[in-house]
């Protein structure tokens, strides 16, 4: 989303012709390339894959040519208006009319994207694309009558590019495959089951089934249905009806103009002869048109009455190919069937007649509409919103924000889904930020006139914690980063909350923020870590960051205590340095730690648990600590819960974790302990984290740190609601234990994929 204007390649895949053109700023430019769409209509013996491959190879060939003509090379948009029932993600649900096979599950976008590595491919249903060409009409239905029949409803009151009434997958309006004469099917011996069997066989090319349906005078559709709307009203269906009528009533046929144009052979009736006969006033063809448009008129009236529509735009090669006689037949039925009641109460004859809009440029509608859609999408921004009081995320769209003099616009490239986000989503915290997310790598898109320093194209991350207000946090009580564009300002820049990162920063760089928090905690715990015995309680991503840093800084032993070690096992498999021991989080913890440390106990300990498990973690950890140990209260503490320390005293974690208190307390198990705490990182910690990730500049860790093993899944923004729900419900992503899930904003559709296991750089 939110791209810069450029030249796109737009494609219209129809049942007869496929066309391509260049588009700029929503308008077609230059020539239109056209070729015959590979089809099985006349050669049903051809394998479907052969036809599909031929089509996509030819599209890719022509698109490459246009791409080379379009100007400087680079990543471009390719918008494909596809003549089939296809989801907004480009996955076919039914291509019976196009390929004479359902082809359900075929991923057009992926197949074409593999052929066009320079392109971002978008796939829309062709009728949906055409509706965008007439968007200035506001609120209307677009009806197409060609090799198929469909309707799409456009509503300019809907937000962004969601202006077509459709389900979440982008489907809706496939009225052509709805039966319109079920009573005729019920009257058959065997009823609808017989019709279904014959229809499927006829669509597959079975001549016996076609002959039987012709004997019964029952029309069939390429989808395999019998007596649905397409079987009566589509172009191929009308031609089949003409052939049936000519054979059943040879005398009527013999006296028609169509007979002369087809040289007296019903098998030679084609669209051109039919259209010429219609325009010549042939009564035989006029009667066929009356039969073809009756059910269509009913469908149009129903759609208008149900949705309150006063305009129906008609496109499609068959309707416009026949022209005025076809429209006269449809208008005749509309006048006859429209009742002065309900939605149509009080309509005048002129209003009824004006219901149909016959555009002057139907041949351009699909290509031009696809161009308009791509252009509109550039000004659209997506946000993942958490509705107040609900444990779900909703993908919404809105207008692109503007940049003020003291503001910056940032476009996230990557954003991490962390445990805090999940707690807010679950309702375990009382925060309602609207838009979640606080870990990101973002590109500077626009800079206000009063801003100096960052320039467009720079990459940054954000410190979500306001340095002067511990309660002001991005993605907590301020809208976060799960959106295409976010606005920040001079104040955040002046306070050091924008931190530059290298140009090649990958998904693992979203962990810069938690790494900065870990480095701050380690700095508060001890100046030197080399040769020290370390205990980390908690094996979530934050706990694993503590393990990685302790290992990198030369700790003598690193022990992890956790209720489950499955995330740790995944991380180690992916290349994270392993701890010396992993112990169950339970009563045997102290004995285990002392065994690992040769009886010394842990000198440095970090409590990095989730929720409100901190006090319980402290109770189990006290006996595992060496005398004069340092303990950091990193995570798992909520306000109001006190820690029990030695001598019957208690400790309030709040001031400690706010960095305002450092207390030496008696250890309930004996000896003394220094308790420290912190929340988040400061500017210096972010700089240290950046150096540690980019070059290993930290003097204690000359080899640097590789956090790629901690990114287990990379997903698209539309996939995140489902991913978050699965984590909340099952603790998995696509059935696997996750580490950090990262949104890649460049991914389209609902993509969820395991991150590749990174190449091992070696253990520092």
**pLDDT tens track for 321-352:** 999 999 999 999 999 999 999 999 999 989 99
- What is the band of 724 on the pLDDT scale with cuts at 50, 70, 90? very high
| Residue 97, phi then psi, degrees to nearest 5 | -70, -40
Rg (alpha carbons) of the chain, rounded to whole number: 33
Distance of alpha carbon 654 from alpha carbon 279, whole angstroms: 85
Distance of alpha carbon 635 from alpha carbon 628, whole angstroms: 22
Sorted by sequence, the CB contacts under 8 Å of residue 548 that are 6+ apart come out as 576, 577, 705, 707, 710
- DSSP output for 93-113: EE-HHHHSS--TT-BHHHHHH
Cβ atoms within 10 A of the Cβ of 110, count? 17
Length of the chain: 764
**pLDDT tens track for 541-567:** 999 999 999 999 999 999 999 998 888
**pLDDT tens track for 286-298:** 999 999 999 999 9
Sorted by sequence, the CB contacts under 8 Å of residue 757 that are 6+ apart come out as 573, 574, 575, 709
Q: What is the mean predicted confidence (pLDDT) over 749-764?
A: 66
Q: Residue 328: name the closest of 302, 353, 348 by CA.
A: 353
Q: Which two tokens stand for residue 588?
A: 């045997």
SS3 13: strand
- Does residue 746 register a pLDDT over 90? no
What are the chain's domains? 7-134 (3.30.420.40), 228-358 (3.30.420.40), 380-505 (3.90.180.10), 513-694 (3.90.180.10)
Q: What is the mean predicted confidence (pLDDT) over 353-374?
A: 94
Distance of alpha carbon 617 from alpha carbon 544, whole angstroms: 16
**pLDDT tens track for 111-152:** 999 999 999 899 999 999 999 999 999 999 999 999 899 999
Q: What value does the mean pLDDT of the chain take?
A: 91
| Residue 446, phi then psi, degrees to nearest 5 | -150, 145
Q: What is the mean predicted confidence (pLDDT) over 506-510?
A: 95
Q: What is the predicted pLDDT for the residue at 699? A: 47
Share of the chain above pLDDT 70, in %: 96
**pLDDT tens track for 469-487:** 777 899 998 999 999 999 9
Distance of alpha carbon 705 from alpha carbon 478, whole angstroms: 31
Q: What is the mean predicted confidence (pLDDT) over 161-165?
A: 87
Per-residue CA distances from 499 to 99, 435, 494, 515, 523 (Å)? 53, 21, 11, 13, 20
Note whether 556 and 533 are within 8 A (CB).
yes
Distance of alpha carbon 344 from alpha carbon 625, whole angstroms: 82
Task: Look up residue 340 and give its DSSP letter.
Answer: S
Q: What is the mean predicted confidence (pLDDT) over 358-378?
A: 93
Note whether 296 and 145 are within 8 A (CB).
yes
Q: Please state whether 389 falls in left (phi above 0), alpha (psi between -120 and 50) or beta.
A: left
Strands (E), 401-497: 407-417, 439-447, 459-462, 486-489
SS3 590: helix
Q: Residue 631: name the closest of 535, 516, 543 by CA.
A: 535
Distance of alpha carbon 95 from alpha carbon 87, whole angstroms: 12
Note whether 442 and 475 are within 8 A (CB).
no
Q: Which two tokens stand for residue 519?
A: 């480095």
Sorted by sequence, the CB contacts under 8 Å of residue 501 that are 6+ apart come out as 441, 459, 460, 461, 509, 512, 690, 694
Distance of alpha carbon 130 from alpha carbon 135, whole angstroms: 9
Q: Largest alpha-carbon pair distance within the chain?
A: 113
Q: What is the predicted pLDDT for the residue at 74? A: 65
């Amino acid at each position: 989303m939110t791209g810069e204007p450029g030249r796109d390649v737009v494609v219209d895949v129809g049942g007869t012709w496929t066309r391509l053109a260049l588009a700029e700023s929503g308008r077609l430019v230059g020539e239109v390339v056209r070729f015959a769409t590979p089809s099985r209509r006349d050669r049903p013996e051809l394998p479907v894959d052969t036809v599909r491959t031929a089509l996509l190879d030819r599209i890719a060939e022509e698109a490459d040519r246009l791409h080379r003509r379009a100007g400087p090379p680079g990543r471009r948009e390719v918008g494909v208006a596809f003549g089939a029932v296809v989801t907004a993600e480009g996955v076919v649900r039914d291509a019976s009319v196009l390929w004479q096979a359902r082809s359900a599950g075929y991923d057009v976008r992926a197949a074409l994207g593999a052929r066009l590595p320079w392109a971002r491919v978008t796939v829309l249903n062709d009728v949906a694309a055409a509706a965008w060409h007439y968007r200035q009409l506001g609120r209307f239905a677009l009806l197409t009558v060609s090799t198929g029949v469909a309707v799409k409803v456009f509503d300019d009151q809907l937000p962004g590019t969601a202006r077509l009434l459709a389900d979440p997958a982008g489907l809706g309006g496939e009225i052509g495959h709805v039966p319109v004469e079920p009573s005729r099917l019920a009257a058959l011996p065997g009823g609808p089951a017989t019709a279904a069997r014959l229809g499927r066989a006829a669509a597959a090319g079975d001549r016996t089934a076609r002959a039987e349906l012709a004997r019964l005078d029952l029309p069939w559709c390429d989808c395999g249905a019998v007596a649905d709307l397409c079987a009566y009203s589509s172009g191929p269906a009308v031609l089949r009806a003409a052939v049936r009528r000519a054979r059943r009533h040879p005398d009527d046929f013999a006296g028609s103009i169509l007979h002369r144009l087809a040289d007296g052979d019903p098998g030679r009736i084609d669209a051109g002869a039919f259209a010429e006969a219609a325009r010549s006033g042939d009564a035989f063809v006029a009667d066929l048109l009356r039969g073809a448009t009756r059910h269509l008129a009913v469908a149009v009236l129903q759609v208008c009455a149900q949705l309150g529509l006063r305009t129906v735009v008609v496109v499609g090669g068959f309707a416009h190919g026949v022209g005025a006689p076809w429209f006269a037949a449809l208008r005749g039925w509309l006048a006859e069937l429209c009742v002065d009641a309900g939605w149509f109460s009080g309509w005048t004859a002129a209003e009824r007649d004006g219901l149909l809009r016959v555009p002057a440029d139907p041949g351009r509608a699909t290509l031009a509409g696809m161009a308009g859609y791509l252009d509109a999408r550039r000004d659209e921004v997506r946000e993942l919103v958490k509705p107040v009081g609900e444990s779900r995320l909703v993908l919404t769209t809105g207008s692109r924000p503007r940049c003020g003099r003291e503001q910056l616009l940032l476009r996230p490239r990557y954003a991490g889904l962390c445990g805090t986000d999940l707690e807010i989503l679950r309702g375990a915290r009382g925060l309602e930020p609207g838009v979640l997310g606080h870990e990101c790598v973002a590109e500077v898109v626009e800079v206000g006139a009063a801003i100096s320093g960052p320039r467009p194209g720079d990459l940054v991350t954000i410190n979500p914690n306001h340095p002067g207000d511990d309660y002001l946090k991005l993605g907590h009580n301020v809208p976060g980063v799960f959106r295409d564009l976010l606005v920040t300002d001079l104040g955040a820049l002046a306070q050091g909350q924008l931190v530059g990162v290298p140009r090649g920063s990958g998904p693992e760089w979203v962990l810069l923020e938690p790494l900065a928090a870990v480095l701050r905690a380690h700095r508060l715990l001890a100046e030197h870590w080399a040769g020290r015995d370390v205990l980390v309680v908690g094996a979530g991503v934050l706990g694993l960051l503590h393990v990685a840093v302790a290992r990198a800084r030369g700790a003598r032993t690193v022990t992890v205590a956790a209720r489950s070690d499955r995330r740790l096992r995944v991380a180690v498999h992916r290349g994270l340095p392993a701890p010396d021991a992993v112990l169950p989080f339970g009563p045997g913890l102290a004995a285990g730690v002392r065994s690992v440390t040769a009886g010394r106990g842990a000198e440095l300990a970090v409590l990095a648990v989730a929720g409100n498990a901190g006090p319980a973690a402290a109770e189990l950890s006290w006996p595992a600590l060496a005398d004069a140990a340092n303990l950091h209260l990193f995570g798992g503490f909520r306000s109001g819960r006190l820690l029990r320390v030695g001598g019957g005293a208690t400790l309030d974690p709040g001031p400690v974790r706010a960095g305002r208190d450092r207390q030496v307390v008696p250890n309930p198990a004996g000896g003394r302990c220094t308790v420290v705490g912190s929340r988040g990182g400061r500017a210096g910690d972010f700089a240290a984290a950046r150096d540690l990730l980019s070059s290993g500049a930290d003097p204690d860790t000359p080899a640097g740190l590789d956090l790629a093993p901690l990114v287990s899944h990379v997903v698209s923004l539309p996939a995140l609601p489902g991913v978050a729900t699965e984590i909340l419900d099952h603790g998995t992503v696509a059935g696997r234990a996750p580490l950090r899930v990262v949104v890649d904003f460049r991914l389209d559709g609902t993509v969820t994929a395991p991150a590749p296991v990174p190449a091992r750089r070696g253990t520092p």
